[in-house]
Amino acid sequence: MARRRRGKHIPQRTCIGCRTTSSKWDLIRVVRTADGVRVDPTRRLPGRGAYVHARRACWEAAFKRRAFARALRTQLTPADLEHLRAFMASLPTEDDAPGPALDDAQP
């Protein structure tokens, strides 16, 4: 009897900031390369990687817990930290996220 596939497998990864599991495609990959730690928009660069949600709160939690250095198994240089913090600054804050307006809410 042949096995039946129920659907396409969706790779899961854990956010190093909030520690929740999400689809690999919903997260941003940060990779350790020979040139230092970089954000990997293509998710294809070689090297050890870590995943973080595209939310500033997750990035701040990862910095606070020193999760980048632990997940990437490296010491982060000041240049690496500056590069990652600059990327974090480009992310929208929770206040900028679209959502229903309070005036439009139904009682």
For 48-82, what is each residue's pLDDT tens digit?
Answer: 999 999 999 999 999 999 999 999 999 999 999 99
Residue 68 covered by a domain: yes
26: Cα within 13 Å, side-chain hemisphere: 13
Q: Is residue 4 a part of any domain in this protein?
A: no
Q: Which domain holds residue 79?
A: 12-92
Question: Bridge partners of 40?
Answer: 29
Domains in the chain: how many in total?
1
| Alpha-carbon distance values, 45 to 40, 41, 50, 66, 82 (Å) | 7, 9, 12, 22, 20
Q: Is the full-model pTM beyond 0.85?
A: no
With respect to residue 52, please indicate whether it lies within any of the assigned structural domains.
Answer: yes
CATH number at residue 46: 3.30.1230.10
Q: Please indicate, yes or no, if residue 5 is contained in any of the structural domains.
A: no
In-domain check, residue 70: yes
14-51 pLDDT per residue, tens: 999 999 999 999 999 999 999 999 999 999 999 999 99
Q: Is residue 6 part of a domain?
A: no
Residue 60 domain-assigned (yes or no): yes
- List the one residue out of 106, 36, 42 whose CA is nearest residue 72: 36
Q: Flag whether 106 is in a domain.
A: no
